[in-house]
Amino acid sequence: MTTTDRRTQQQRRDQAEAALLNAAAELVVEQGVHSLTLARVGERARYSRGLVTHYFGSKQALLQRLAQATQSGFVPGLDGMPPGLDRLLRVIDGYIGALSQLRMPNRAFLLLWAEAATAADLARIFRERDEAFRADLREDVTAGIADGTIRPDVTAEETAVAVLAQLRGIGLQRLVDSPAVDTERLRHSVTEHWRRALALAQPPA
């Protein structure tokens, strides 16, 4: 098999997986996670159930891949940014900004996350996803303390838990009562709140 053939095969696989994940996200948003089956995902994406099973193996594996796919890329513009206060504030600003449109993957992720509170099969998945998010936040706080931009008395773990809870809470409010959540104003006020709460005070000029 030539390199071109392998590349084309991989492109076809990536395209099919993206279509299946998009179909799964649509079903979650439209009908809830309990309605999600491999057969319905295949039907929505116009693929066979056999192909869905081949790619994911089980509903649990599909949900895990969907959670990963819908979480990644939620906040644009982070590639190449070193950990620290600036990246942490970019995460906060970008996360709330992304909620202004609530694209299908974003809605699916938030709905799945809320469902994880009462669904054991989702709870494990989202404990892992939340821990990965908190780990990134902790890294930013730790780096900020090390470079002197964040106060040394700040606790990385507590800050990570609080930031994650606030961002997810704003997202759920946006889902439930969209007109009440002005994302453009919130992204500024919340980002500034955390800047003031974390930043090392500058000496007077």
Together in a domain, 11 and 108 = no
User: Cβ of 76: how many Cβ atoms within 10 Å?
Assistant: 10
Residue 108 structural domain:
73-198
Question: Is the per-residue pLDDT at 205 higher than 50?
Answer: no
Question: Is the per-residue pLDDT at 82 higher than 90?
Answer: yes
pTM of the model: 0.82
Together in a domain, 92 and 192 = yes
User: Cβ of 44: how many Cβ atoms within 10 Å?
Assistant: 17
Together in a domain, 90 and 191 = yes
Together in a domain, 46 and 82 = no
Together in a domain, 191 and 101 = yes
Together in a domain, 41 and 122 = no
Together in a domain, 90 and 139 = yes
Which residue shows structure tokens 């600036």?
A: 86
Q: Phi/psi class of residue 84: alpha, beta or left (left: φ > 0; alpha: ψ in -120 to 50)?
A: left
Which one of 25, 51, 66 terminates a domain?
A: 66
Contacts of 133 (CB under 8 A, 6+ apart): 71, 160, 164
Q: Report how many domains make up the chain.
A: 2
pLDDT band at 37 (very low <50, low <70, confident <90, very high): very high
Assigned domain for 204 exists: no
Assigned domain for 145 exists: yes
pLDDT above 70 covers what percent of the chain?
93
